Amino acid sequence: MLVGGRMKNLPGPRDIAEARLCIPITNAIPQAPTVIGAALLNKPFESMWPYDLRNVGELIGTTVVPKYPELAEARYYRIDITRAVKRIAAGDAFYGLALQTVPDRGVDDGWTTRIDITQDKPIYIELDVYRK
């Protein structure tokens, strides 16, 4: 899944204590936990148009979603993306993020995993800053 948005008016990189990408998930497979990761995009994307996956950068953070059946309400999971947000605050370009499941036999026991992200709740970034 590609996620767009703007990262403007960020505090300076040294003022950022922590940044977490918050993702509302409603479903994962009941057989095994799922590792999900976020990666920065190297080029902009347009909604509803094909995107060349060669423009997806390396993973900037991951988290584990436990195994569970479909839930009635979305539950937020957080991925630490502090280093990437500090680079963006320092002047690196931001074109968006890619969310993906990450195969990890140490976690998913070899199962093919997936997650469902709801459109009813927003994906957002929590930002903690040092107080001056």
Along the chain (132 residues), what's the average pLDDT of each consecutive run of 10 residues?
A: 89 95 92 94 92 94 86 88 96 94 90 90 95 72
The single-letter DSSP state of residue 110 is: T
Q: Which residues pair with 63 in a beta bridge?
A: 36
First-to-last alpha carbon distance for the chain, in angstroms, is 37
Domain ranges (residues) in the chain: 2-78+88-111
| Cα 122 off chain centre by | 12
What's residue 8's pLDDT? 84
Contact by Cβ (8 Å): 11, 129:
yes
pTM greater than the 0.85 cutoff: yes
| 55 CB-side CA count, 13 A | 13
